[in-house]
Structure 1
């Protein structure tokens, strides 16, 4: 029972990393070809490509991600508050709320730390990200924006004020396969491919709202009739500190002896509905 429960947690971590952002943060997006698609380097796609570059180079930001819809007959309703810092080491903190429960996730280097996931005993439980085939040092949620480089037929859809900031909106769609070409990690690309396949979609519609500094403030991804995911970005480049627990507050998952008995452990196919046991 305990081994199976640990496996579910591990798979859940991989799925959430795929959902939030799969591209390698160390790569520099090539905006030249995408901008040309927008028409002479000055069309809507050029603004989107600039936003991709700017988001990818941000040293810090905060974001909120909400997901709603249905995957394989399973209702998906969740929200996550995200904080990211790149210095001195890329680190993310996610606070995930679903079904009235809240859990915290810390990601740094090869570590995934979970708190509030119902393990009992330790304040934080540690998993090795390498076992999931992912180097979290290169996994930045803002890199979800990189998938927009695969977009076709981008058009301006007007202006909107978001959190008091004036933005211009752009809409388009991208092929899921073309988008996965921008994912450096093969394991995460395959996990994303399975998510798309389970949802029965081969294209994603999006709306992205970009401020006057060329930064994305909102990204809305719609996977057919399956799910809608909304990212709200803010506080780019602002002073942000993520407190990391000390070793005496952490216990390795494999060392746990008091994992609670879970009578109805979800199958792997149910994982998109359980991001609270993600990491």
Structure 2
């Protein structure tokens, strides 16, 4: 199941985090040569995205070592819910993967690949906290993965010294303004964040993720539509395993998210399975 869980978390989401203003940390000093107007526009879009209660997005592109990935994610902060459906091909984690979060319960699905590991059943059920959650981080580190959300990644663009306005472009039928810049992962690691600010912590985790991938320079593109709404985010980099190129398209802003639990007859309840055995480790 380790391979299945790794494949599921190809992409993180903010679903398990609260909406608390992802870029309200103003403590990091900008380079003297930064372009004030583009940075301000990007910051407004990031701030607005952090305050959303629910959103859906499509993701597609290439992940080094994983091949081509595509999928859709819908999440809501209150009530807490997530529906993630991903597909990977041409890499080590080839196949379809799903995650459904309903309150404090997570359901992980992996099609026939999961069925082969779960005695014919396609879903694994486990709590986000407590015994059977995969350790103190919950669900084998799902919370840490969840902190690598698009808002945190987009906020890194405000830390670039060369943010520029590329121009007007139509994306998904929406008239947008395209902004772009490159950030140095090494410089971001050395830059102190505000203590006790959740947004700063999530940004630090996003930077750490890129460091672990061997990324030195991260190229970010952001397309901002009417009312400072982020329409698209693209991240590109060269990693230790090859190129990374992911695009995220946002839609269904603040619309209700309904997630249904898989049939109990097709689900393995990990908490029940390991009840009385001191918890499960996955």
Q: Distance in 1 between matches of 2:173 and 2:28?
A: 29
Task: Confirm or deny: 8 A CA contact 1:168 1:209 kept in the other structure.
Answer: yes
SS in 1 for 2:40: helix
Question: Is the 8 Å Cα contact of residues 22 and 183 (structure 1) preserved in structure 2?
Answer: no
What is the rounded CA distance, in whole Å, between the counterparts of 1:132 and 1:183 in structure 2? 23
Once residues 102 and 9 of structure 1 are traced to their aligned partners in structure 2, the CA distance between those partners, rounded to angstroms, is: 9
Check whether the contact 1:114–1:124 (CA below 8 A) recurs between aligned residues.
yes
For residues 173 and 210 of structure 1, the distance between their equivalents in structure 2, rounded to whole angstroms, comes to 17
In structure 2, C-alpha distance between the alignment counterparts of 1:126 and 1:251, rounded to whole Å: 6
Residue 67 to residue 183, structure 1, CA distance change in 2 (3 Å): farther
Partner of residue 125, structure 1: 124
Q: Which residue of 1 aligns with 2:44?
A: 50
TM-score, normalised via structure 1 length: 0.70
Q: 2:20 & 2:185 partners in 1: Cα distance?
A: 19
Q: 1:26 to 1:134 in 2, by over 3 A?
A: farther
Please report how far the alpha carbon of residue 204 of structure 1 lies from its aligned counterpart in structure 2 after TM superposition. 0.5
Residue of structure 2 aligned with 1:215, choices 205, 225, 229: 229
Instruction: Output aligned runs, 1:8-23, within 5 Å.
Output: 8-13=3-8, 16-17=11-12
The RMSD of aligned alpha carbons is 3.9
**1:101, distance to aligned residue in structure 2 (A):** 4.1
Counterpart selection for 2:77 from 79, 86, 100: 86
Offset from partner CA, 1:127-151 (integer Å, 9 cap, x none): 4361423438974844232333332
Q: Give the superposition deviation at 1:122.
A: 2.9
Checking the alignment, whether the CA contact within 8 Å between 1:64 and 1:232 is kept in structure 2 is yes
Instruction: Note if 1:184 corresponds to 2:198.
Output: no
1:7 to 2, 7, 14: 2
Partner SS state of residue 133, structure 1: helix
Q: Tell me which residue corresponds to 1:147.
A: 156
Q: Structure 2: give runs of 5+ residues left out of the alignment.
A: 127-132, 194-198, 274-281
Q: Is 1:135 matched up with 2:150?
A: no
Q: Is the 8 A contact 1:122 1:251 kept in 2?
A: yes
Among candidates 139, 144, 167, match of residue 158 of structure 1: 167
Tell me if structure 1 keeps the 8 A contact 2:97–2:108: yes
Residues 166 and 179, structure 2, Cα contact 8 Å, conserved in 1: yes
**Tell me, what secondary structure is at the counterpart of 1:135?**
helix
Per the normalisation by structure 2, the TM-score is 0.69
Higher RCO (C-alpha under 8 Å, 6+ residues apart): 1
* Total equivalences in the alignment: 244
Q: CA deviation at 1:109?
A: 5.4
Out of 89, 95, 101, which is 2:85 matched to?
A: 95
| CA distance in 2: counterparts of 1:210 and 1:77, whole angstroms | 26
Q: Hey, what's the Cα distance between the residues in 1 that align with 2:145 and 2:223?
A: 27
Distance 1:217 1:35 in 2: 27
Q: Counterparts of 1:245 and 1:153 in 2: how far apart (Å)?
A: 47
* Structure 2 CA distance for partners of 1:193 and 1:235, relative to 1, 3 Å: same
